[in-house]
Amino acid sequence: MSLRPENPVANSATAHSPSAAEKGEYSLEERGFLLKLAHEAIAATLEQREISLDPPSKHLAEPRAAFTTLYYHGRLRGCVGHVRAVESVWATVADTACAAAFEDTRFDPVTADELPHLQISLSILSPLKPIRAEEVEVGRHGLLISQHGRRGLLLPQVPVEYGWDRLTFLEETCHKAGLPADAWRKGATLEAFTAEVFGERDREE
């Protein structure tokens, strides 16, 4: 299932960076392939051709949920993802890269002129697990909050980027779902995940 679009969105004792949340599951070669694949998927869509890249490992054939975030000259250009694993991680990255480039309704579709300047960040998600509010760790957990058919998701790096504490993170995720800020106290379902985040945002132009 896709979420289109997704914004990059009592006090926490620690707020560590997403990269420190867990040891990396993906090798440098695998990370490089997935980032190259995301670029290639966008370019292939624009040029109306097939992708011609082969995954370097069987590991990338494992089903995983993922989000692809695009930046153009350092500014958000699109973000779309799957919150549940429905296909291989490399297929998910290709799908979400194209969706972020062409289906995020907050932005015009990416153009060929923009391709050389796009920077990509990938978030590979762990399976969702139920969590209590007091267990949420800023910088480690991403959140999915749902109630009455509404749901909102924010990635683990979002509260770190905005300097939020745990309470603000919970409230902002409720807002993302279109729910009252205190819905997390009043029966909303809380699910958490971790993410391995890597990309090119710090790359110099």
Tell me the residue ranges of DSSP E strands in the chain.
2-3, 65-72, 75-82, 118-125, 129-130, 142-147, 150-154, 189-193, 195-199
Is there a cis peptide before residue 18, judged by omega within 30 degrees of 0? no
Q: Tell me, yes or no, whether 36 and 110 share the same domain.
A: yes
**pLDDT (0 to 100) of residue 54:** 84
Q: Render pLDDT for 163-182 as a digit per residue (tens, 0 to 9).
A: 999 999 999 999 999 999 99
> Predicted confidence band at 82 (pLDDT cuts at 50, 70, 90)?
very high
Q: Tell me, yes or no, whether 107 and 139 share the same domain.
A: no
| Domain finish residue from 104, 125, 146 | 125
Count other C-beta atoms under 10 Å from residue 133's C-beta: 16
The CATH number of the domain holding residue 74 is 3.30.700.20
Q: Tell me, yes or no, whether 26 and 118 share the same domain.
A: yes
Give yes or no for residue 42 having a pLDDT over 80: yes
| Domain finish residue from 97, 125, 153 | 125
Q: Total domain count for the chain?
A: 2
Distant-in-sequence, close-in-space partners of 75: CB < 8 Å, separation ≥ 6: none
**pLDDT (0 to 100) of residue 23:** 62
**Distance, CA of 195 to CA of 92 (rounded, Å):** 14
In contact, 61 and 30? CB cutoff 8 Å: no
DSSP class of 80: E
Q: Render pLDDT for 96-125 as a digit per residue (tens, 0 to 9).
A: 999 999 999 999 999 999 999 999 999 999
| Domain finish residue from 125, 144, 165 | 125
The pLDDT of 135-155, averaged and rounded, is 96
Distant-in-sequence, close-in-space partners of 28: CB < 8 Å, separation ≥ 6: none
Within the chain, residue ranges assigned H as helices are 28-47, 89-102, 157-162, 166-176
Weakest-pLDDT range from 15-19, 64-68, 126-130, 150-154 = 15-19
The CATH number of the domain holding residue 168 is 3.30.1490.150
**Distance, CA of 141 to CA of 109 (rounded, Å):** 30
Q: Tell me, yes or no, whether 174 and 108 share the same domain.
A: no
**Distance, CA of 9 to CA of 32 (rounded, Å):** 25
Pairing relationship of beta strands 2-3 and 75-82 according to DSSP bridges: antiparallel
Count other C-beta atoms under 10 Å from residue 34's C-beta: 27
Range of the domain at 101: 20-125
Tokens read off for 191: 């699910």
Give yes or no for residue 159 having a pLDDT over 90: yes
